[in-house]
Amino acid sequence: MTEETKATTHFGEDVFGDEAIRTYLSKDTAKKLQATIREGKPLDPSIAGEVAHGIRHWAMDRGATHYTHWFLPMTGSTAEKHDSFLELKEGEPIMQFSGKNLIVGEPDASSFPSGGIRSTFEARGYTAWDPTSPAFIKRHSNGATLCIPTAFCAYTGESLDKKTPLLRSMQALDKSLKRLMKLFGRAEAHTACTLGAEQEYFLVDNEYWKRRPDLVLTGRTLFGAAPAKGQQLEDHYFGTIPNRVLSFMNDVERELWKLGIPAKTRHNEVAPAQFELAPQFEELNLASDHNMLVMDTLRTVAERHGLKCLLHEKPYAGVNGSGKHNNWSVAYGGKNLLDPGTDPHENAVFLTMLCAVIEAVDKHADLLRASVAGAGNDHRLGANEAPPAVISIYVGDQLAEVLDRLENPKSAKREEKGSLKIGVDTLPAIPKDATDRNRTSPFAFTGNKFEFRAPGSSVCCSGPMTVLNTIVAEAVDRIADELEASGAAGKAKPGEHTAAFHNALQKILQSSLKAHKRVVFNGNGYEAEWPKEAARRGLPNAPDTPSALAALAKKENIALFEKYGVMTKRELNSRHEIFLEEYAKKVRIEGACARDIASEMLLPAVRAEYLETAQALDTAAKVGVASGTAALKESLEELGDGLDAAKSEVKTLEAALGSDDEAATIAAMTALRSTLDKLERKVADSRWPLPKYSEMLFLY
């Protein structure tokens, strides 16, 4: 069997997909289940029993003895509670899995973050099967478990997870697009949001990781001087992948392919020991679930190779941080609405969607920023390595010219014949890939999709994509409102709209661009001048997590999510509370960890160096040797000054931790790190207790 045959044969073998559905279910049941999966039709409850029976047989044939409802609580990771198929019937052991077991589970909801929705004594919660994301087998060293993707809600029916709002937002956008496409004369069809999530990560040798309490407890290094060589030679990006890493990557891809995850691209990223994995596009809900599995697989496979996979946004200071670029697009009836067309009518639809996204992002930039807020991402956003905290849109020079001509028809260049009009021949065909790429833009159009570059490497894609779907649904509805009010839409067949329709649409898009074009920025987002220019344009700039999360408490944003049935006021308030609390806890954990490492590991090493230097100086004086004493005195003074400063900074950090002031804690950690990173260069390498950047960043 060739490697090509092996890869295709094993792809999806641990997923209850089309082949398994056809094999283990009757033809009628298979047809009904596939309609739910592919077209979003409601699940027929009458088939649950047969589906459960078929899934159990399939899972046991694959070696599974247990099942779990796999869900995405507000912890940012996944959750699972395993139950065996084993049951006793009249004292005899049997293997059984009912329709009820498949559809509903009842995990304890009191111990998950709920933001006040659940109290400690109110434990009941429910998981509900999501048939649009197929069941899969999760393997471990000596067994396997059937995993059933589910939503997670409280006894009161309120969402306690990240999947439920995403599914609601997809329904909201589908409803809005059906309405708009009807005005364009298109037959009702299924809306498919798609996502390709590029996953960046670092690898470090497991032995080094175990000797770094900061990596173990916080995911990032709280101390560490820059090595002589980092990423300044720009030789790591797309460089030859080290054999050890390539072996790890091969195993990761084999695991992912078995789970039906189309891992496509792998390469060295910008920083040493940093890498990227990118899949092919999939429908949004499935892609989000798959990305959670990608992160889990990276971690588990790394263990087998004596490595640790670091998914923190900024595990090392002074080198590139890790993001997760969310490539989002939306199709209607199989046609990508963000793909420039080959005729004026298709381009009218494309420009309408483009304007809707621009309007949505400008109007709700604060929500998009809030969706990527977190303690880890605060170290990355705007740090000359990632998109800034100011949300803007990059469209490229050619599309910028098209939008300018759309907004101001009389501004057409002399060589252009006539003004640009929607839906008529003077509107030129817009070629695919009509834009360059802009790595400094947080939200960039890249030919037939938007790339949201601000999400951090550890984030669950569901959060940012829930916001994006919802705000675009609102913009699409507003355009549809005005088109309906114009009285010029709704009767013509595709390509046969009247001049009145085209004129009405053009005026609507012109008005939208005039109000929202300020968010379009094609320049360098890393330049110091951009935040100043953004302020002049009136664009919001939330530099840290607490200020970014304030958007979740705004009345107009709560009203938006309630209007589209994505989240209630209570659900949104709970997330605001959960995310603020998570931020505070992470900062406090980092602060306490920094205090302990400094007090128990680093300061003792500096004191030992100080004492050894003092003894050497004293010995020189006793034997009457003058040479070298000047250098020893200088070293002693530097070490002593550092000891005094670090001891004082530890006390300042201790006080900040006692005050529950996150900003003060961060400032104290920063000052302490600065002092101790300087001392790292003055203490003997053999004495310094932490593995250094020069050791950890280079894997060979």
Helices (H), 553-601: 555-563, 569-597
Specify the higher pLDDT residue, 422 or 21: 21
Mean pLDDT to the nearest integer, 416-430: 55
- Which pLDDT score is estimated for 136? 97
* pLDDT tens digit sequence for 532-547: 999 999 999 999 999 9
- Percentage of the residues of the chain whose pLDDT score is greater than 70: 91
Residue 418 pLDDT: 47
Q: Please, what are the domains in the chain?
A: 3-160 (3.10.20.70), 162-187+339-540 (no CATH), 200-323 (3.30.590.10), 584-696 (1.20.120.1560)
Q: Which pLDDT score, from 0 to 100, does residue 415 have?
A: 45
Q: What is the pLDDT of residue 417?
A: 44
Count of alpha carbons within 13 angstroms of residue 564, beta-carbon side: 31
Residue pair 603/650 in contact (Cβ under 8 Å)? The answer is yes
Whole-Å CA distances, 339 to 356, 410, 480: 14, 26, 20
Terminal C-alpha separation, the chain: 32
Quick check: 100 pLDDT over 80?
Answer: yes
Those residues with Cβ within 8 angstroms of residue 169's Cβ, 6 or more apart along the chain or in another chain: 465, 466, 467, 469, 470, 473, 564, 566
> What is the tens place of the pLDDT at every residue in 118-131?
766 666 788 999 99
Name the DSSP class of 73.
B
Burial class (CB in 10 A: 0-12, 13-18, 19+), 491: exposed
Q: Which amino acid is at 156?
A: T
Q: How confident is the model at residue 466 (pLDDT cuts 50, 70, 90)?
A: very high
Q: What pLDDT is stored for residue 435 in this prediction?
A: 57
Q: Give the range among 150-159, 253-262, 637-646 with minimum mean pLDDT.
A: 150-159
- What integer pLDDT is reported at residue 42 of this predicted model? 74
Q: What percent of the chain has pLDDT over 90?
A: 73
pLDDT at 534: 94
The model's pLDDT over 391-416, given as tens digits with 9 standing for 90+, comes to 999 998 888 888 988 888 766 554 44
Average pLDDT (93-111) is 82
